[in-house]
Structures are given as C-alpha cells and as structure tokens.
Structure 1
Amino acid sequence: MTNEGMNSGSVVCVTGAGGYIGSWLLKNLLQNGYTVHATLRDIGDEKKCRPLLDLTGAHERLKLFQADLLQEGSFDSAVEGCQGVFHVANPVPPGNECSLEDFIVTSVNGVLNVMRACTRAKSVRRMVLTSSLSTACPMNDKGELACPCIDESCWSDVDILGSQTNKAAWYGASKTLEEQEALKYGAENKLEVVTLLPSLVLGPWFTNIPGYTSLQTIIALIGENDLLYEQLKSIQSMTGSIAIVHIDDICNAHIFLMEHPDAQARYICSGDSRSINSLKQLLSKQLNVSIKLDDEEPVNRDVPISSKKLLDMGFCYKYSLEQTLEESVRCAIKNGFLKL
C-alpha cells in the first residue's frame, strides 16, 4: 500500500483533538484544507469543543466524534472514510493509585483499538502516531544514557524504566511498548505506520485548556513546581540538556510525514536543547525577573539528539528556542497563569 495522493483534499482523523498537540494539529489541518474527523472523550464538553468548532474552516470541514481509547470499536465511525489517521490521544490511567501495568495496558490497548478501526475501515492508507523522545533513550542500570547520540535506532529499555518508581519513567515504558506494538501491527496488517518522537513541546495554545507542558515547564523553571523541576533535572542528568520543540513545528511535522510518500518507521523531532540554567537565564531576561540558578551544571555531558532523518526528508523547523520560550511566556501571561 502506497501513500500516493495524500494531500490537503484528503479526509483524516485526529484522535485526542481536545489536547494540546491534537488541537493545534487540527487547526493546522483545517488551515491546509483538510477535512477532519476529530475525536474527544466527551463531545458534550463545551469547554473543550467550542474552541475547535470556532476554528476557521471548522463549519465546513470538521466533524466531532465521541470515542474512548479503551472501548473496542468506538473509533469505527470516526475513522470510516478517512485516508489518514493521526493518533495523538494519550490515555491516562484512571485513579491516583495507578500502577506500571495500568500505564502499559491503557497505551497499548488504546493504539490497538485505533489501528483495528483503521483495518476495518479499509480506506486508511497511513497512520502517524505521536510517540515520545522518551522511547529512544536507552539507559543502563545506573541510570546513565547508553548511547553516544540519540537517533531513531535507539530504543528505551522497558525493564529498566519499569523498575523505577516514578510515573515519568512508567510513561516512557508504556510509550515504548505502544510504539513497538504499532509498528508491529502495521507490518503484519499492511498498514503504513509512521511514528513521530517529539522532545518537550512548548509554545502558545488557543483552547480553554492550556498547553500543560508549556505552562508547567515555565512555572517549574521559575521555581514554582518542585515535582516537575526534579523531572527536568532527571532528563538533564541523562543528556546534559533539555530538548525542546515548538508546538507549530511538531504539528507541521505530523502533516509532513502524512503527506510524504517515502515516510516510514520512526522520526525524531527536536528543535534545540539547552541546560536548565541556560533556559532560566533566557526566561529571566524575557520576564525581567531574577531566577535562581542551580549551583551545579551538568558535567561535560551533552548527548546530541538527531533530527537528521526528518531533515533529510526535507522538513524545516520554523522556530528558534528563544521564540518558543517567548511565545510560551506571552501566552501564559495573557491567560492569567503567570502574574509577575
């Protein structure tokens, strides 16, 4: 099965359209002339649905569907008649006392439910799966990165991630298994599957639900979210820096990979990376406030994160790291989440 002819006149499905990446991807698809079937867990949620229905082109080319990733068959109607599917939805295990198994079951079962719907529809040519850079960070049992460069040949060790006690590691384990299962299913069922591995996604948002990665990362860096800040330090301890990509770039990369006839397998999408202290210094200048720097910087460790495969296909990033941070900050202030 080839992907010839996938273009702005096609009908596509976006799962998880109420989320940060999903909503921005939907906006870009409508701007590019696509007809979009968008899924949400509750299409009666006015707070999530209204900003999507108000987008330019939505009246003519957007249809909302209610679907649950853990309910077999619930995506059949949304996928029916689509040539492409963007699986962006990221299922969250129910309850506060969730286990590693909960993370794995929800991720793997979720992607398989969507893919089986693609098979039944018979019209779907390609699925682009939103994965995570956390699936390409192999660590040894000492918590050290076990590769000189992070690229598409790298796979995270599920056993090592699963042996940790924090949910960020469990998320990485579940996303790794989800991505592997998706690629396996595609190969066995003659469905083109392309996976996109974004680094930390920052930038503005336009819905009533804020882009939590953007908002929380900014707040953590200025010293108001200790839990997330520790997670950022953990990432930095592995690679020596925090890798960041703009929300518009990652969504354009999704569309690029859906349209490119030769796209296949995995693609890392990461715009730039800096140390935590460098990010703090940039934010301090943009916000015109004093932000306390860490006493210790990473010890001469800066593992390259390669987007070469994506760039060699012809994709171009639009946004610098400085622009990305500035737009995140501006949006957070505009919406009342940052008051300085």
Structure 2
Amino acid sequence: MSAGDRKKTACVTGGNGYIASALIKVLLENGYAVKTTVRNPERADRAGRPRDSERAEVVREGGGGGEARGPPDFVGGLCVVTLVRPELQGDGHVLDEEPWSDVEYLTGTKSGLWAYPVSKVLLEKAASRFAAEHGISLVTVCPVVTVGTAPARSARPSVLNCLSLLSGDEAAFGALRAMELSGMLALVHVEDLCRAELFVAEEAAAAGRYLCCGLNTTILELARFLTEKYPQYTVKTNLLFGELLEKPRVCLSSAKLVGEGFD
C-alpha cells in the first residue's frame, strides 16, 4: 500500500465525552478510521459513532492501552483555555497563544474556579515536555467555552451554563459569572472546534498552540441575544444582578488559526 493510499487513523481519548463525540463524527465523515477509549466499552453507543461503523473501534480506558496503539495520524485531545491574569486591568486587551493563566496567582488566591485553569495549564505544559523529550510533534488546540449539539447523550457543563439564562439554574449561572471574571465570555461552536482540530492535524505547517474562539461577548450581550432570537423563551432576568460587563474587557484572538487558512 502506498503512502497516499494508507488509511488515515485517529485516536480520540474519552470518546463518550461532549467534544470527543462530535470530533469522532467529523473524523468518520472525513474518511478517518477512529480508535477511541472509553471507560465502559459496553456502552459504546455513547461514544459518538454509529454502532455499525467499520472504521470506529472502541477500547477500554485504563486497560494498558495496547489496543489503542498504532500509527495514528493524530491524537485528538483538547485543552479548554480559561485565561486568568491579574495584571489585565482596564479595557482593550487582546490575547493570543503566548500568555498562560497565572498558576501562582490562582493557587495563591484560590478564588472562583481557580482549580480548573490551573489543571489545564499543568496538563498542557506536561504534554509539551513529554513531546519534546520524545521527539513528538505536538499541536494543541485550545478552545474556549464550547456550545452546540453533539452526539453525546449528556452535555458538558459549558452548555448548561450558557443555557442557565433560560433554565434559571442558579448554580450553572454562578459558574457562568465566574467565567466572566476573566474579562469576557468567550464562546466557540463545537462544530467549528472539531473542524479546527482536523484542520491543524492535516496542515503540514501547523505547529504549537492554537486558540479557537468564535466570539468574545458578555453575559448581558448573551442575554439580549437570546431574548431577541428566541422570544418564545423567557430569559431569567432575576439572575442578572450585581456587577456584569456591558462589553468584553479582554478578547481572545484566533488570528493564528485564521491566518493559516481556517474559516
């Protein structure tokens, strides 16, 4: 078999997750064979792929991983970015892939959702060190708050958080407010995110980190959008109290991704 005829293979960890299930669907639609790991293979119908697909294989996580090995063209893994930097005062800040959340500040203050961005920074930096030590080409896609429909039967918290303006779930809305403390509410649609990961996987020149952000907005702007777009539902205005941003003070830029040809 020539290199040009070789079947494309991808490995996606946590295949029954919200984003992973959508990614598996996109990969299958684009001709990839997919190996995915889940905690319970007997519930493989939750892994975001048709049961009768001959190009999808599900194996158990934590079982040694032997079945999932092989020469995949890329490994699907996503690191959700939540940038927290205390020195960003005032308005008009535009952040790209260079800055990281301030781990020392977060671990020192332990305020809000501090553990989440800390874990993501430590995870991505550990993966980068491992790749460098073993000669692996690592390209990282860093999405923001991800929304939209995916094959997984349960939505990730970010979807429930954004829908809290309609559901009235106070705990989910509280998490949404905590996200906005970084200076904006940054959103991306799950379909755009999966297309972006496929794009950088197939782009020979792709390297390093890529932010994937479709919209920088605020809770108030989101509430106004939902009120205008879906008047048949009622935005729970009782949640909109206290100090909320009118406009984003900070914006996350996907200029690197777009500059390399992604739409």
Normalised by the length of structure 1, the TM-score is 0.68
* Whole-angstrom distance in 1 between the partners of 2:247 and 2:54: 54
What is the deviation of 1:211?
A: 4.2
Cα 1:146–1:266 shift into 2, 3 Å: farther
What is the deviation of 1:6?
A: 9.2
Partner of 1:272: 215
Partner of 2:66: 76
Cα 1:63–1:299 shift into 2, 3 Å: closer
* Whole-angstrom distance in 2 between the partners of 1:7 and 1:178: 35
SS of structure 2 residue aligned to 1:267: strand
Q: Does 1:298 align with 2:245?
A: yes
2:170 pairs with one of 215, 226, 232: 226
SS of structure 2 residue aligned to 1:17: coil
Partner of 1:44: 42
Percent of aligned pairs with the same amino acid: 27
Deviates more, 1:228-237 or 1:253-262: 228-237
CA-based RMSD: 2.7
Q: Does 1:255 align with 2:198?
A: yes
What is the deviation of 1:236?
A: 1.9
User: What amino acid sits opposite 2:198 in the alignment?
Assistant: I
Q: Which protein has greater RCO, CA pairs closer than 8 Å, 6+ apart?
A: 2
Written as runs of structure 1 = structure 2, the 5 A alignment for 1:19-30 is: 19-30=17-28
Higher-helix-fraction structure: 1
Aligned length: 257
User: What amino acid sits opposite 2:227 in the alignment?
Assistant: S
| 1:204–1:211 contact (8 Å) kept in structure 2 | no
Cα 1:200–1:149 shift into 2, 3 Å: same
Deviations 1:118-157 (A, max 9, x none): xxxxxxxxxxxx11222x43234xx969993221110111
Cα 1:258–1:300 shift into 2, 3 Å: closer
* Whole-angstrom distance in 2 between the partners of 1:61 and 1:46: 14
SS of structure 1 residue aligned to 2:138: strand
Normalised by the length of structure 2, the TM-score is 0.87
User: What amino acid sits opposite 2:68 in the alignment?
Assistant: A
User: What amino acid sits opposite 1:59 in the alignment?
Assistant: S
Deviations 1:181-208 (A, max 9, x none): 1112112211000111101000012332
SS of structure 2 residue aligned to 1:251: helix
Partner of 2:146: 201
| 1:24–1:248 contact (8 Å) kept in structure 2 | yes
Written as runs of structure 1 = structure 2, the 5 A alignment for 1:183-194 is: 183-194=128-139
| 2:79–2:124 contact (8 Å) kept in structure 1 | yes
Cα 1:192–1:247 shift into 2, 3 Å: same
What is the deviation of 1:10?
A: 1.0
What is the deviation of 1:290?
A: 3.5
2:81 pairs with one of 114, 133, 147: 133
| 1:194–1:257 contact (8 Å) kept in structure 2 | yes
* Whole-angstrom distance in 2 between the partners of 1:132 and 1:6: 33
Query: 4+ runs of 1 displaced by more than 3 Å?
Result: 5-9, 143-147, 164-167, 293-297
Consecutive unaligned residues in structure 1, runs of 5 or more? 88-129, 317-340
SS of structure 2 residue aligned to 1:53: coil
Written as runs of structure 1 = structure 2, the 5 A alignment for 1:1-340 is: 9-45=7-43, 48-49=46-47, 52-54=49-51, 59-68=53-62, 74-87=64-77, 130-134=78-82, 136-140=83-87, 148-165=93-110, 168-218=113-163, 220-222=164-166, 224-239=168-183, 241-285=184-228, 286-291=230-235, 292=237, 293-294=240-241, 296-298=243-245, 302-316=249-263
What is the deviation of 1:228?
A: 2.8
| 1:199–1:270 contact (8 Å) kept in structure 2 | yes
* Whole-angstrom distance in 1 between the partners of 2:6 and 2:109: 44
